């Protein structure tokens, strides 16, 4: 069964550095998402992406964050000037279709980001 | 603003019995509801969903019930098995599909 893959599984970065989290969505999916889960807290929406642009973003997704689909397969989340509070599990998800069609998101296994 | 709430952080059930996990939501624009299962060190795995035009959807041992007037949904697992032990998240979205809102999760333990 096709799956969403995320790399790396664990990323350790010094505070203030930039980090890029990578995701390969399911190949025929058109909608892409990033979520994060701080330890012990709920899964929080960051951003959705369709047709090479952001569809929606949350308050968390400020100028520190950006997303990109640099080629036909990868979907990346860049976090600039990382802070201690950015430490979390970051999940990528993809979905076959979007508006008006009820379909589930499929998640990768996440990248654990640790900011030191 | 917690638009999807799971008020029970944990639940323990004997193997073979029914597990009932509950979820409440506040946004009347939500029309698609899902349950995800999550094991440690893995991403959420889609389990079952229901659209707002239905009040019940069944898939094997899993049944989701939706009560729109009460803004409440529940997941029934019967019979419960030890392998069902995981954290269960409910989620909801409107028909834009641009954002899914997750509850805080319920940790289910099925005791052999």
Helix, strand, coil abundance in chain B, percent, nearest 5: 5, 55, 45
Give the CA distances from residue A53 to residues A21, A62, A67, A98, in Å, rounded to whole numbers and listed in that order.
18, 15, 9, 14
Both tokens assigned to B83: 């392998």
* Contact: A107, B101; criterion CB under 8 Å: no
Q: Mean pLDDT across chain A, nearest whole number?
A: 91
- Which among A49, A4, A45 has a CA at the least distance from the CA of A24? A4
Q: Supply the DSSP symbol for A23.
A: E
Please state, in angstroms and rounded to a whole number, the distance separating the CA atoms of residues B21 and B88: 8
CB burial of B36-53 (b: ≥16 within 10 Å; e: otherwise) equals bbbeeeebbbbbbbbebe
How many whole angstroms separate alpha carbon A76 and alpha carbon A61? 14
- For the stretch A48-83, pLDDT in tens is 999 889 999 999 999 999 999 988 789 999 999 999
Q: At residue A99, does pLDDT exceed 60?
A: no
CB A99 within 8 A of CB B97: yes
Q: What is the pLDDT of residue A45?
A: 93
Among A25, A95, A102, the residue to mutate for chain B (most B Cβ within 10 A) = A102
Chain A neighbors of B51, CB-CB under 8 A: 102
Using a CB-CB cut-off of 8 Å, the residues of chain B touching A101 are: 97
Shortest CB distance from A105 goes to which of B31, B96, B100?
A: B100
Q: Given pLDDT bands bounded at 50, 70 and 90, which one contains residue B41?
A: confident
Q: Collect all residues of chain A within an 8 Å Cβ-Cβ radius of residue B98.
A: 48, 50, 55-56, 98-99
Whole-number percent of chain A with pLDDT over 70? 95
For β-strands B10-14 and B106-111, DSSP reports them as: parallel
Chain A CB within 8 Å of residue B101 CB:
yes
For the cut 90, the answer to whether the pLDDT of residue A28 exceeds it is no
Is the Cβ pair A95, B45 closer than 8 Å?
A: no
Strands (E), B15-85: 19-25, 32-38, 45-51, 56-59, 62-67, 72-77
């Amino acid at each position: 069964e096709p799956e969403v893959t995320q790399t790396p599984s664990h990323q350790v970065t010094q505070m203030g550095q930039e980090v890029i989290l990578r995701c390969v969505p399911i190949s025929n999916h058109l909608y892409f998402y990033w979520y994060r889960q701080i330890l012990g807290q709920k899964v929080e929406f960051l951003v959705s992406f369709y047709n090479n642009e952001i569809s929606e973003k949350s308050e968390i997704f400020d100028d520190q964050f950006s997303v990109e689909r640099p080629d036909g397969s990868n979907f990346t989340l860049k976090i600039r000037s990382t802070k201690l509070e950015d430490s979390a599990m970051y999940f990528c998800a993809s979905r076959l279709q979007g508006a008006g069609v009820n379909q589930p998101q499929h998640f990768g296994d996440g990248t654990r980001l640790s900011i030191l | 603003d917690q638009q999807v709430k799971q008020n029970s952080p944990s639940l323990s059930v004997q193997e073979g019995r029914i597990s009932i996990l509950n979820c409440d939501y506040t946004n009347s624009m939500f029309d698609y509801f899902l349950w995800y299962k999550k094991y440690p060190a893995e991403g959420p795995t889609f389990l079952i969903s229901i659209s707002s035009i239905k009040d019940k959807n069944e898939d094997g041992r899993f049944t989701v019930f939706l009560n729109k007037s009460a803004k409440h949904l529940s997941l029934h697992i019967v019979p419960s098995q030890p392998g069902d032990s995981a954290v269960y998240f409910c989620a909801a979205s409107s028909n834009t599909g641009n954002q899914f809102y997750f509850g805080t999760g319920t940790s289910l333990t099925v005791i052999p």
